[in-house]
Amino acid sequence: MTRVTVWNEYRHEREEDRIREVYPQGIHAQLASFLSEAGLDTATATLDEPEHGLTEEVLNNTDVLVWWGHVAHQEVSDEIVNRVHQRVLQGMGLVVLHSGHMSKIFMKLMGTSCDLKWREAGEKERLWVMDPSHPIAEGIGEYIDLEQEEMYGAHFDVPAPESLIFVGWFEGGNVFPSGSTYRRGSGKIFYFQPGHESYPTYYNKEIQQVIINGVNWCAPTKRDYPVYGHSEALEPIREKVGV
């Protein structure tokens, strides 16, 4: 069974009544609930726990880390970011949601500013499936309609993805690469744009299915991490004359 840790900074839900009304137990609890219902072995971690809840033991027992952050990116310890980064290179999957695009870990993995245009106007978003053959799009029709979402607009300053699975169109006219995959080291990464804290996006069954699919796709393969560094010859090397 795939072991999932859902990480959330858990600030909006504690500090703002209007956000608490949408996610009374926190965004992490809502994400964990439907991931658990899908048969995934799911736990949660939050920013204000010791080591942000991401101890070496936790990460070593995590196959896929789901990340949601927004207002407290800079409060995440560089030591923990480096710890997560190393685990991704070693094969742990990473699903980055919504404003997690500006998290330290996503920026470190992308190597760019990860910046974009944004607008909070409660406008409609239509997520078009661009790669219907991709496992992350399994069970999804041609598009997903969301009555309200925060607008994220191009240009999105990230490297060209391995796969572009969704493109979002917004009522105000903007478009955005809303679902993309990457590989870093032995790890797989899925970035998925919907999920503003003041809208009930994570209660939408199609959005839930995409995230479940994303976790399953990001799960590591069952093989040993490659051995790097000096390597002894596997076969005898003939002596070269004049060398």
Vertex 212: Cα angle to 16 and 51 (nearest 5): 55
> Is-contact 178 127, C-beta < 8 A?
yes
Tens digits of residue pLDDT in 19-46: 999 999 999 999 999 999 999 999 999 9
The per-residue pLDDT for 113 is: 98
Distance CA 175, CA 173 (A): 7
Tens digits of residue pLDDT in 41-100: 999 999 999 999 999 999 999 999 999 999 999 999 999 999 999 999 999 999 999 999
Using CA of residue 36, residue 27, residue 68, residue 179, what is the dihedral sign?
positive
Is the pLDDT at 242 greater than 80, yes or no? Answer: no
3-state secondary structure of 198: coil
The per-residue pLDDT for 222 is: 79
The model carries a pTM of 0.95
Distance CA 151, CA 170 (A): 7
Cβ burial of 194 (10 Å; 0-12, 13-18, 19+) is: buried
> Is-contact 61 157, C-beta < 8 A?
no
CA atoms within 13 A on the CB side of 154: 11
> Is-contact 101 114, C-beta < 8 A?
yes
The per-residue pLDDT for 127 is: 98
> Which residues contact residue 86 at a Cβ distance below 8 angstroms, ignoring those fewer than 6 apart?
none
Is the pLDDT at 243 greater than 70, yes or no? Answer: no
Identify the band that residue 186 occupies on the pLDDT scale cut at 50, 70 and 90: very high
Is the pLDDT at 224 greater than 90, yes or no? Answer: no
What is the Cα Rg of the chain in Å? 20
Percent of the chain exceeding pLDDT 70 equals 99
Tell me the backbone φ, ψ of residue 188, rounded to 5 degrees: -110, 145
Is the pLDDT at 8 greater than 90, yes or no? Answer: yes
Domains of the chain: 3-115+179-218 (3.40.50.880)
> Is-contact 66 29, C-beta < 8 A?
no
Tens digits of residue pLDDT in 117-170: 999 999 999 999 999 999 999 999 999 999 999 999 999 999 999 999 999 999
